[in-house]
């Protein structure tokens, strides 16, 4: 069947066998392991399907199967001729021009399905296998000689593959595609095919058509694997210029300009300024460089939740939308994707990074540059939009940060929808329902720029990126920044979120109006002439932006530094004993992971150990005040049994805090270990705390309510209503998943508190369930700690709302600047009288953000001349939580 120069392919194995020692095979998908391979194919006969017969490819496949402890391929797939594994190829490795060869795969496939008894059950499976000797994307302008030596279309012969093997230092990539089971293939199963020709019976014709259909399925799988690994064909800037200038939109834009010739020249100039110069050699060089750099900078790069992403690149186009915490973000994501077998995306980078030598390197790595502001430059705005449209229309994966810049506060910033708007316009015009937006969360043990962020929050001017700053940053390569987590959130399919948005708006319309008259339910039914500037389309863009931020927060990873920072900033005293800091860190660790299980979010802590809940229960119940006895037997035994793992976890976290000078360690008169927060690093701590504030906040909100309600008169309904109200005004602080209701969040937290014996629920009074707090002293201290973790936001928002109320009382209306300035003054007065615990600098830094959040929640109403008044109904259920009446007396 598969012969080379008349000799069966297995007879050539001895000649190529020595090459297997030189090969370093990368297997995709990365989630495929020996265990999963065994589970998928145990008790089954597997037919591995290659796009083209090649002894070299078979050698790679057999080496991979051996590593998975599977049987190697020794024969082609013929009925009853193999037991475990066999081979099929769509095309022969040699050139044949007869129709007989063209139909050979179909004949062999039909013969196998018809005559092998395993085909009637799931015991015969087909697995398409793609083997890539290079991952260089095809270039439109590549010369004939280079194309002949190093083909990238899968047609290379043994000598060409040997060249590529040497060039890539033995690296070969193998990808296993979708598994096809024989019962999925409908055949007559009545014809016995003993010759190379197929008789023209009706039954045989149907079998032949089904075989063609399966061949198409295999070709589709091969194409998907290739597209995911290589990406589309690359074009030089001249081709891109021609493409953009020839689009109907650009022709119309040029014709409408005052000077068409000058406008066309300006468009070409801007394309050269914007455009990437994607280069595979640079990608490979950067991969090798970062193999070294990441091991020096980080102790590990942990990739989380990638399993559900691997298939997307083969099913549709991907737009990557990560959080933006550091300059490392885009480098890390490109590195991870390349290592995972996906093509490196084109990245929208700020024009501030276009300096020598970084600008040139980034361009070759896939970066295209965008100005911070278009400043009314219509030609630039049109050119940039058309360039992005070119990338998306030609199936290039794109990456951008919707926050605009790096977050200086750790929390997610409010989305800037300009770039997303351009992408959505292109998607709607093409009706590309099968486009996926993938949110990505970056969690750092230590972010390289935290010191510069702290300086900027204190008022220092942001330093402009330049070559000198780059050279200064090189020395940090030999510093250590702990570990970094790259966590992938749930992908958002454009077709699905369009329907979600349609349903959302349909609920908001009066019943006698059909929303289908404004926008169709399915994206594919959108009129071709739709105006993408329509308010409903702009609302759709904002809806996506909000959902992306929510999905990013749902994939958050709490680093040890963020847990430590939250603990250190949630103290009223200057010092903290070792035991107290330990239980607080462990408590936060446990709450985060338990909350994830109940809400089905993908959040977790980066440092974790078993038996934390047992340790916490033993710690909190070491002394029972009601019975006045010590509980030292069973619970304390559990506590001490698990101490090695507990101490290892906390020591790991504390050592990071000491190493990065976030706190200092000392001993008191009684030789007890105490920790002191470093005030010089306070804003560094605020940054790390911000990364997990949205996870800690629900526990802080409930603890605050429990401790500040009279006579312990708290009900589950009150908790749920307050969380709903706080969520509305803190929406930009929290970005909780809108598909997770406030009731679900409240119930999850209360369930965890019950499990820790913090609270008990008493019998129903009507429809209300009362909540009772434990009298345990340590439990009350834990609740105070959690309540204090959200105290800064309570003070910030409470003082601003109190200031607004006093301004309304005295003036009727006020301006935004007046409100912010007076709230800072009120904060200073409250701090001097020790009512406010956070310094006035907190209001100076975050007042603008608080105002925007309250404005979005409808608390403020803008009147004539940009004057602002209050919406009284928006204050319901929230003023008492924020202690508004306490702060009003400090507003002068």
Domain contains 91: yes
- The rounded mean pLDDT for the chain is 86
Give pLDDT < 70 ranges for the chain.
Answer: 1-15, 93-103, 140-155, 183-203, 467-478, 510-518, 622-643, 711-712, 764-766, 892
Q: At what angle do helices 535-553 and 494-508 cross, to 10 degrees?
A: 120
Residues 113 and 172 reside in one and the same domain: yes
Tokens of 191: 């014809």
CATH of the domain at 809: 1.10.10
Residues 200 and 283 reside in one and the same domain: no
- Residue 184 Cα distances to 119, 581, 644, 843, angstroms: 10, 59, 53, 64
Residues 352 and 484 reside in one and the same domain: yes
Predicted pLDDT at 690: 96
- Does residue 764 sit in helix, strand or coil? strand
Residues 317 and 180 reside in one and the same domain: no
Residues 306 and 213 reside in one and the same domain: no
* Containing structural domain, residue 486: 278-553
Query: Cβ atoms within 10 A of the Cβ of 390, count?
Result: 19
Domain contains 300: yes
Domain contains 11: yes
Domain contains 575: no
Residues 190 and 77 reside in one and the same domain: yes
Element (H, E) at 822: helix 816-832
**Cα separation, 148 vs 336, whole angstroms:** 31
Q: Of 538, 553, 568, which residue constitutes the final position of a domain?
A: 553
Domain contains 440: yes
Domain contains 310: yes
Q: Which of 256, 284, 453, 459 is nearest to 364 (CA)?
A: 284
CATH of the domain at 416: 3.40.1130
Domain contains 746: no
* Number of domains, the chain: 3
Strand partners, 125: 46, 181
Q: Which of 720, 714, 742 is nearest to 877 (CA)?
A: 720
Residues 440 and 527 reside in one and the same domain: yes
Residues 175 and 289 reside in one and the same domain: no
Domain contains 165: yes
Residues 205 and 291 reside in one and the same domain: no
Q: Of 500, 535, 553, which residue constitutes the final position of a domain?
A: 553
Residues 456 and 366 reside in one and the same domain: yes
- Residue 642 Cα distances to 3, 635, 639, 673, 755, angstroms: 63, 11, 6, 21, 19
Predicted pLDDT at 511: 64
**Cα separation, 840 vs 316, whole angstroms:** 50
**Cα separation, 266 vs 845, whole angstroms:** 41
Concatenated DSSP letters of 744-759: HHHHHHHHHHHHTTSE
Q: Pairing relation of β-strands 714-715 and 24-28?
A: unpaired
Q: Of 515, 537, 553, which residue constitutes the final position of a domain?
A: 553
Tokens of 210: 């089904």
Predicted pLDDT at 281: 87
CB 88 within 8 A of CB 48: yes
CB 237 within 8 A of CB 271: yes
Residues 197 and 322 reside in one and the same domain: no
Q: What is the pLDDT of residues 116-141, one digit of tens each?
A: 888 877 789 999 999 998 888 877 66
Q: Which of 466, 368, 370, 451 is nearest to 416 (CA)?
A: 370
Predicted pLDDT at 627: 44
Residues 222 and 322 reside in one and the same domain: no
* CA 346 from centre of chain: 16
């Amino acid at each position: 069947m598969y012969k080379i120069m008349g000799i069966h392919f297995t007879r050539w194995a001895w000649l190529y066998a020595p090459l297997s020692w030189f090969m370093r095979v990368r297997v995709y998908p990365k989630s495929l392991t020996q265990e999963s391979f065994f589970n998928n194919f145990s008790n089954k006969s597997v037919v591995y399907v290659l796009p083209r017969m090649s002894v070299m490819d078979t050698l790679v496949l057999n080496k991979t199967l051996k590593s998975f402890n599977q049987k190697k391929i020794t024969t082609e797939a013929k009925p009853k001729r193999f037991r475990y594994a066999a081979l099929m190829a769509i095309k022969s490795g040699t050139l044949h021009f007869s129709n007989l060869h063209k139909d050979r795969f179909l004949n062999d496939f039909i013969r196998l399905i018809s005559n092998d008894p395993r085909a009637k059950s799931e015991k015969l499976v087909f697995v398409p296998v793609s083997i890539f000797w290079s991952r260089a994307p095809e270039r439109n302008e590549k010369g004939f000689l280079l194309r002949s030596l190093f083909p990238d279309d899968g047609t290379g012969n043994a000598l060409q593959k040997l060249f590529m093997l040497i060039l890539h230092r033995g690296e070969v990539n193998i990808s296993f595609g979708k598994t096809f089971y024989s019962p999925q293939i409908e055949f007559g199963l009545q014809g016995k095919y003993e010759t190379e020709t197929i008789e023209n019976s009706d039954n045989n014709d149907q079998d032949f058509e089904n075989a063609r259909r399966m061949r198409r399925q295999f070709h589709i799988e091969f194409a998907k694997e290739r597209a995911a690994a290589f990406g589309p064909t690359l074009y030089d800037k001249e081709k891109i210029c021609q493409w953009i200038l020839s689009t109907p939109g650009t022709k119309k834009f040029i014709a409408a300009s005052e000077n068409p010739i000058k406008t066309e020249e300006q468009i070409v100039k801007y394309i050269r300024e914007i455009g990437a110069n994607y280069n595979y050699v640079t990608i490979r060089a950067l991969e090798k460089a970062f193999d070294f750099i990441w091991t020096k900078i980080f102790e590990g790069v942990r990739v989380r939740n990638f399993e559900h992403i691997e298939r997307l690149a083969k099913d549709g186009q991907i737009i990557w939308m990560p959080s933006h915490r550091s300059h490392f973000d885009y480098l890390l994501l490109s590195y991870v994707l390349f290592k995972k077998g996906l093509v490196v995306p084109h990245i929208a980078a700020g024009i501030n990074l276009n300096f020598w030598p970084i600008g040139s390197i980034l361009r070759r790595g896939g970066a295209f540059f965008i100005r911070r502001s278009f400043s009314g430059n219509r030609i630039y705005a049109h050119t940039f939009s058309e360039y992005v449209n070119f990338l998306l229309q030609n199936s290039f994966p794109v990456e951008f940060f919707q926050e605009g810049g790096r977050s200086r506060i750790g929390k997610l910033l409010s989305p800037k929808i300009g770039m997303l708007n351009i992408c959505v316009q292109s998607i709607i015009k093409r009706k590309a329902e099968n486009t996926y937006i993938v949110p990505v969360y970056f969690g750092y043990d230590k972010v390289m720029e935290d010191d510069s962020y702290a300086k900027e929050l204190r008022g220092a001017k942001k330093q402009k990126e330049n070559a000198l700053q780059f050279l200064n940053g090189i020395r940090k390569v030999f510093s250590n920044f702990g570990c970094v987590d790259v966590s992938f959130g749930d992908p958002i399919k454009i077709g699905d979120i369009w329907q979600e948005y349609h349903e959302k708006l349909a609920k908001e319309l009066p019943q006698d109006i059909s929303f289908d008259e404004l926008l169709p339910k399915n994206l594919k039914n959108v009129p071709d002439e739709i105006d993408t500037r329509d308010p409903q389309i702009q609302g759709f863009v904002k809806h996506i932006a909000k959902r992306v931020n929510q999905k990013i927060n749902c994939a958050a990873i709490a680093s040890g530094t963020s847990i430590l920072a939250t603990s250190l900033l949630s103290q009223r005293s200057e010092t903290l004993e070792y035991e107290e800091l330990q239980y607080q860190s462990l408590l936060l660790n446990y709450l985060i992971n338990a909350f994830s299980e109940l809400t089905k979010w993908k959040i977790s802590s980066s440092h974790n150990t078993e038996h934390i809940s047992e340790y916490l229960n033993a710690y909190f119940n070491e002394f029972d005040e009601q019975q006045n006895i010590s509980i030292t037997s069973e619970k304390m035994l559990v506590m001490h049994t698990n101490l090695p793992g507990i101490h290892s976890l906390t020591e790991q976290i504390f050592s990071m805090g000491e190493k990065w000078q976030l706190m200092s360690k000392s001993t008191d008169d009684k030789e007890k270990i105490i920790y002191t927060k470093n005030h010089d690093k306070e804003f560094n701590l605020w940054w790390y705390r911000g990364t997990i504030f949205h996870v800690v906040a629900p526990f802080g909100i409930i603890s605050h309510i429990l401790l500040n309600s009279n006579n312990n008169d708290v009900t589950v309904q009150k908790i749920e209503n307050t969380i709903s109200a706080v969520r509305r005004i803190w929406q930009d602080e929290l970005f909780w998943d809108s598909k997770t209701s406030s009731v679900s969040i409240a119930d999850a937290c209360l369930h965890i508190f019950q499990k820790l014996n913090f609270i008990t629920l008493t019998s129903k009074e009507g429809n209300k369930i009362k909540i009772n707090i434990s009298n345990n002293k340590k439990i009350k201290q834990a609740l105070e700690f959690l309540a204090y973790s959200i105290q800064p936001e309570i003070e910030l928002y409470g003082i601003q709302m109190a200031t607004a109320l006093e301004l309304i009382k005295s003036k009727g209306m006020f301006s935004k600047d007046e409100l912010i300035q007076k709230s800072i003054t009120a904060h200073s007065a409250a701090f001097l009288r020790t009512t406010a615990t956070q310094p006035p600098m907190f209001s100076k830094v975050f007042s603008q953000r608080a105002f925007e959040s309250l404005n979005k929640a409808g608390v403020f109403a803008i009147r004539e001349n940009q004057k602002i008044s209050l919406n009284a109904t928006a204050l319901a259920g929230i003023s008492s939580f924020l202690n508004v009446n306490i702060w009003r007396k400090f507003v002068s």
